[in-house]
Amino acid sequence: VRAQQELLPCQSLPKNLLFQLLGLSIATLSTVTHYGLHFTLLSNISLESNSYRVIHHAAFYFGICLSMTLILAALLSSAATVRESQCLTAMGFFCFALAFCGLIPAACWRYTHSTEVEDSMMDVYDLVYEEVRRNASSFRRHELTAIHETFLCCGKHSPFGDTANVEHKTCPSSQLHDAGQDCLQEIRNFLKKHMDFVSTLLGVTIGFTVYGMILTSFLWFSIHFSSNLERKGKYILR
């Protein structure tokens, strides 16, 4: 029994380190998404119907809370392994379970609302573009120029057919001369790559979280039964 208990730290601590690295990866991705130029540029545009801003901030806070929960679960599990504490083990299991309860709705939302983020970003571009097209002297022209320079694109295919004036004033010269890419398509392509990476990280996190709950459960039962076996055969005279 004692030998089995001594093996638990050696087996569990490397796994807890992986959980901490996973939490740091989620925090890094959330920070890059929140402060990345491609995302902040569209989020900071002041529009009455900028639904992307809500998604932008919600994704950041969810990612930070999830990463903190995973890191806390890993630290509690490490402390429980070293101190052989059933209380700390139960708290670590609770943190893993809490993370799992947040991950499942997030994964469901990702697949049931797969186009919502994309649509909200393209709506922002559409509104800015149409406002500049109707009024060339609009202050939105600077915002549209910044979008074109960031996404390396130039305008969009419009049914009105009068976009040449807008593109000459807001597109980078390299994109204008080389018949630059449609911005709606560029936004779609950029976001697809990003969301594919997010989906992969979500799947890996769910798998590791389930594994963390199994690991902490096994640790709790190991500590519990080892403690009972140590007391077996010991009696107190009254």
The single residue listed with the structure tokens 């609302």 is 113
What's the pLDDT at 63?
Answer: 95
Least Cα distance to 59 among 15, 110, 5 occurs for 110
What's the pLDDT at 60?
Answer: 95
Domain ranges of the chain: 18-111+205-233
Stated pTM of the model = 0.82
The Cα–Cα gap between 169 and 171 comes to 6
CB 50 within 8 A of CB 124: yes
pLDDT in tens, the chain (238 residues): 444 444 455 556 677 788 899 999 999 999 999 999 999 999 999 887 788 999 999 999 999 999 999 999 999 988 888 888 889 999 999 999 999 999 999 999 988 887 899 999 999 999 999 888 888 667 888 999 999 999 988 888 765 555 567 777 788 776 655 555 789 999 999 999 999 999 999 999 999 999 999 988 988 888 877 755 444 444 444 4
What's the pLDDT at 112?
Answer: 86
Per-residue tokens: 171: 């597109």
CB 201 within 8 A of CB 208: no
What's the pLDDT at 47?
Answer: 80
What's the pLDDT at 13?
Answer: 64
Structural element, H or E, at residue 76: helix 51-83
What's the pLDDT at 11?
Answer: 54
What's the pLDDT at 86?
Answer: 87
